[in-house]
């Protein structure tokens, strides 16, 4: 019988254990060696790159946004640097508690919290979002001393957009805002996402939006060595950003300031154009707004005030709102009639104060009429009856065809977003506009109203100013534009926006001369004479009054109507008459006659632009003026 405790058997068992343990150790070492070989040899390049990436951070360097400057060098939009307290929500465990603790170090108000929550709703949760902007040096110092307590919270130096003249030209400049989801999607679709790394703001409207690609610039990058905790140690290399291009405008900031002041508290719009180039000298929509409110993300109180205001300050009335042109339509009607051979300058009618057509009586503003009226007098005294009859004789197709050549009822192509088409009425337009067959039919009586600038007629002040500039330039058409030059600040290269005629309206010089002489006499002895009394230059113009609602045959009594129901006051003009330097169209909403409210504004504009006279205050209303003799 074998002895289980014999030394020989125990030795055998021990050797077996040693062999097994040795084999196990060898296998383990073999596995470790193979793994090390895989990591160090086969995957060396991959893991070396990963290690380098952990050591080196690639940080975007945002470029300075380009400046916006008026034609004389006045800065309208610039940048400034300020400290911002920012939170990266994805790295913060308890966001509300963190904000409460931060509020003990820096001043965080209720509106800051509301704005932060709004930004969170619009942004990705891993974005760095500002809880406070424009920190003082003392606030920065207090936070830095306690920084270790707030992972995911940083103080950063940021560039902010600033509009030093606050509300001046706000509808032209537009405004900046933080990039939201919709902006991010648009950037991705355009394939420029890399160029917006580290950029928080983007143009939202006006020139800031239209010229975003020029103004933004090219983002640079820094290679920064960091610790395992993410702290920067040193900058290894730097690719400098390319700052955005500067925009030099055709706009005259001084003239823009005069126009905005001339309106006072009244609503309306004015567009002034240089006839020889199409450059926009002033583009005003009243009331205005302060674009600085939007830079940090507008707070709910200001947003509510802007959106609920009955005056709609965010609405760009100059390029978006379309109005009946009223009697300012008459010079173009007369010019078109001459061109089409429907009238001669000598053709005259006897005006009884009304025009009967289709069983309906269309009345003139002057009871009893103007007597014998030829084309010249029809413009000077603004005789409706003359144009009722002209419209009936000419027909809607002829009217629409000529007015389209003058740029009415179509976008001018100006270089900011939001331009409306307006309405140039025609049978084709009506078929597209209405759905029911009985609504689509064009009635001859509708043509009569079109002839005096009423009915379906509706044009923007930009379109009206464009039409006046075409007349002033003897039929040469330039595309209206706001930007004169784009300057590359890095190279100094300047890209000129050359004024090139886009086309020419086929007008006879003798026909143009008839209309121009009549418009000059409007301001000498006609409906604009009171506004331009004593002017040392000759201005050509035409007053107009447009109904805000249908009178349905009743007599207009402005003083007894609610303010929103009163007529709009309009005026078109250019000056000097012998060598036009400026052409304009102006409307004052619900202000009565054009001679009463709109023409005085035009007088201030011309006095400033041609003579350098700066008015002391808003243009006064001429309460005794009318749009008929």
pLDDT digits (tens, 9 = 90+) for 495-547: 998 788 889 999 999 999 999 999 999 999 999 999 999 999 999 999 999 88
Determine the pLDDT at residue 30.
80
Determine the pLDDT at residue 556.
45
**In whole angstroms, what is the distance from residue 589 CA to residue 164 CA?**
29
**In whole angstroms, what is the distance from residue 141 CA to residue 407 CA?**
60
> In terms of Cα–Cα distance, which of 604, 606, 600, 591 is closest to 622?
600
Token pair recorded at residue 208: 């800031």
**In whole angstroms, what is the distance from residue 25 CA to residue 19 CA?**
10
Query: For residue 350, what are the CA distances in angstroms to 333, 355, 394, 466?
Result: 19, 11, 18, 33
* C-alpha triplet 367, 558, 360: angle, nearest 5°: 45
Global pTM exceeds 0.75: yes
Determine the pLDDT at residue 554.
46
Determine the pLDDT at residue 220.
87
Report the percentage of the chain scoring pLDDT > 90: 59
Q: Which residues contact 134 (CB under 8 A, 6 or more apart)?
A: 82, 83, 84
Active-site hit among 327, 378, 469, 597: 327
- Indicate the DSSP class of residue 621: P
Query: Which residue stretches of 38-166 are H helix?
Result: 44-55, 95-102, 110-122, 137-145
- Indicate the DSSP class of residue 627: S
- Would you list the DSSP string of 62-90? PPPPPPEE-TTS-EEEEEEEEEEEEE-GG
Residues, the chain: 629
Confidence category of residue 134, pLDDT binned at 50, 70, 90: confident
Confidence category of residue 561, pLDDT binned at 50, 70, 90: low
Q: What is the CA radius of gyration of the chain?
A: 36
Give phi and psi for 578, each to the nearest 5: -85, -20
The 3-class secondary structure across 329-398, one letter per residue, is HHHHHHHHHHHHCCCCCCCEEEECCEEEECCEEEECCCCCCCEEEEHHHHHHCCCHHHHHHHHHHHCHHH
254 by DSSP, 3-state: which? helix
515 by DSSP, 3-state: which? helix
Determine the pLDDT at residue 27.
82
Determine the pLDDT at residue 86.
87
Token pair recorded at residue 396: 């809607």
**What is the per-residue pLDDT across 167-186, written as a single tens digit (0 to 9) for each?**
999 999 999 988 888 888 89
Determine the pLDDT at residue 592.
84
Determine the pLDDT at residue 553.
47
Query: For residue 89, what are the CA distances in angstroms to 94, 120, 151, 300?
Result: 9, 8, 10, 22
Q: Is 95's pLDDT higher than 80?
A: yes
- For residue 42, with 0-12 CB atoms within 10 Å meaning exposed, 13-18 middle and 19 or more buried, which class applies? exposed
Greatest CA separation found in the chain? Answer: 153
Determine the pLDDT at residue 432.
94
**In whole angstroms, what is the distance from residue 595 CA to residue 588 CA?**
11
- Would you list the DSSP string of 262-308? HHTT--EEEEEE-TTT-BEEEEEEES---GGGGTT---HHHHHHHHH
Confidence category of residue 426, pLDDT binned at 50, 70, 90: very high
> Is 327 labeled as catalytic in the residue annotation?
yes
Contact 421, 433 (CB under 8 A): no
CA dihedral 148, 153, 159, 160 (to 10 degrees): -130
Determine the pLDDT at residue 271.
98
């Amino acid at each position: 019988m074998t002895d289980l405790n014999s030394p020989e058997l125990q030795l055998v068992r021990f050797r077996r254990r040693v062999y097994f343990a040795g084999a196990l150790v060898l296998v383990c070492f073999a596995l470790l060696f193979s793994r090390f070989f895989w990591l160090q040899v086969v995957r060396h390049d991959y893991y070396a790159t990963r290690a380098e990436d952990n050591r080196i951070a690639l940080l975007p360097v945002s470029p300075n946004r380009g400046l916006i400057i008026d034609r004389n060098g006045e800065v309208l939009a610039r940048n400034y640097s300020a400290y911002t307290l920012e939170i990266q929500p994805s790295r913060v465990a308890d966001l509300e508690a963190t904000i409460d603790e931060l509020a003990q170090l820096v001043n965080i108000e209720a509106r800051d919290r509301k704005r932060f929550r709004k930004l969170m709703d619009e942004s990705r949760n891993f974005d760095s979002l500002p809880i406070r902007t424009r920190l003082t040096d003392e606030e920065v110092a207090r936070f830095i001393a306690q920084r270790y307590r707030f992972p995911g919270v940083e103080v950063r130096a940021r560039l902010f957009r600033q509009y030093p003249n606050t509300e001046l030209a706000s509808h032209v400049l537009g405004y900046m805002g933080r990039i939201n989801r919709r902006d991010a999607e648009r950037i991705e679709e355009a394939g420029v996402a890399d160029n917006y790394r580290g950029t928080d703001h983007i143009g939202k409207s006006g020139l800031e939006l239209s010229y975003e690609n020029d103004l933004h610039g090219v983002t640079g990058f820094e290679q920064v060595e960091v610790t395992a905790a993410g702290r920067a140690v040193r900058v290894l290399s730097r690719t400098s950003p390319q700052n955005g291009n500067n925009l030099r405008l055709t706009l005259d900031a001084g003239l823009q300031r005069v126009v905005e002041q001339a309106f006072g508290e009244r609503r309306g719009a004015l567009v002034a154009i240089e006839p020889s180039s199409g450059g926009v000298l002033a583009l005003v929509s009243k009331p205005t707004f302060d674009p600085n409110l939007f830079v940090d993300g507008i707070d709910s109180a200001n947003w509510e005030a802007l959106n609920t205001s009955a005056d709609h300050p965010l609405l760009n009335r100059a390029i978006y709102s379309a109005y009946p042109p009223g009697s300012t339509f008459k010079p173009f009607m007369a010019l078109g009639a001459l061109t089409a051979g429907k009238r001669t300058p000598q053709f005259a009618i006897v005006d009884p104060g009304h025009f009967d057509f289709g069983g309906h009586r269309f009345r003139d503003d002057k009871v009893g009429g103007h007597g014998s009226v030829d084309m010249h007098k029809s413009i000077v005294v603004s005789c409706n009856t003359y144009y009722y009859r002209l419209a009936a004789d000419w027909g809607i197709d002829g009217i629409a065809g000529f007015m389209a050549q003058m740029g009415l009822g179509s976008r001018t192509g100006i270089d900011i977003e939001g331009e409306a088409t307006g309405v140039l009425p025609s049978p084709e337009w009506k078929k597209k506009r209405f759905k029911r067959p009985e609504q689509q039919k064009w009635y001859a009586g509708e043509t009569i109203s079109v002839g005096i600038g009423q009915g379906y007629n509706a044009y923007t002040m930009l379109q009206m100013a464009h039409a006046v500039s075409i007349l002033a330039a003897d039929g040469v058409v330039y595309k209206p534009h706001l930007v004169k030059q784009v300057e590359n600040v890095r190279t100094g290269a300047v890209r000129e926006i050359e004024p090139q005629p886009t086309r020419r309206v086929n007008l006879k010089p003798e026909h143009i001369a008839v209309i121009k002489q009549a418009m000059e006499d409007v301001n000498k002895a006609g409906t604009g004479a009171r506004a331009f009394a004593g002017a040392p230059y000759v201005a050509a113009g035409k007053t107009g009054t447009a109904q805000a609602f249908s009178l349905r045959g009743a007599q207009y009594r402005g003083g007894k109507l609610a303010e929103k129901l009163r007529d709009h006051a309009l005026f078109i003009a250019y000056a000097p008459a012998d060598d036009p330097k400026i052409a304009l169209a102006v409307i004052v909403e619900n202000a009565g006659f054009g001679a009463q409210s709109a023409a005085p504004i035009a007088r201030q504009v011309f006095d400033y632009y041609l003579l350098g006279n700066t008015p002391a205050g808003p243009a006064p209303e001429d309460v005794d003026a009318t749009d008929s003799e």
